[in-house]
Amino acid sequence: MLGNQISDYISALCGCSRVRREGIQMVEVIKIILIVLEVLASIALTAAVLMQSGKEAGLSGALSGNADTYLDKTGNSWDKKLARMTKWIALVWAVLGLALNLV
């Protein structure tokens, strides 16, 4: 009860309605949630990339065509799962970045 009276008094002083102030607070909560999700997606993406197996041929093999491509993981099933997981995490990371830009 007293909290509502104080809130109404502050709203009257600043000239803004109570609904508008609560709406601004909700946007801030959404922004914090998106930032936390973005950080978690960044950590997951970094871990997924670092866990992938390296290429023996390196850049010279990629230029000459001897190395397999990133999208063509036909060998180990763990590498295939990591490649698929990396693509999805990168997509989530990009969508979260766009959402953060809009909020």
pLDDT digits (tens, 9 = 90+) for 39-95: 999 999 999 988 887 765 455 555 555 555 555 555 568 888 888 999 999 999 999
**Highest-scoring range by mean pLDDT, 15-24, 28-37, 50-59, 60-69:** 28-37
Q: Looking at the domain assignment, is residue 20 inside a domain? A: no
**pTM for this model (two decimals):** 0.59
Query: By residue range, what is the domain housing residue 95?
Result: 26-102
Q: Looking at the domain assignment, is residue 82 inside a domain? A: yes
DSSP string for 35-80: HHHHHHHHHHHHHHHHHSPPPSSHHHHHHHT-SPPSS---S-HHHH
Number of structural domains, the chain? 1
Q: Looking at the domain assignment, is residue 11 inside a domain? A: no
Angle between helices 2-14 and 18-51 (to 10 degrees): 100
Which residue, 65, 66, 94, 69, is CA-closest to 79? 69
Q: Looking at the domain assignment, is residue 7 inside a domain? A: no
Q: Looking at the domain assignment, is residue 74 inside a domain? A: yes
Residue 89, judged by CB atoms within 10 A of its CB (0-12, 13-18, 19+), counts as: buried
pLDDT at position 19 is 47
Q: Looking at the domain assignment, is residue 4 inside a domain? A: no
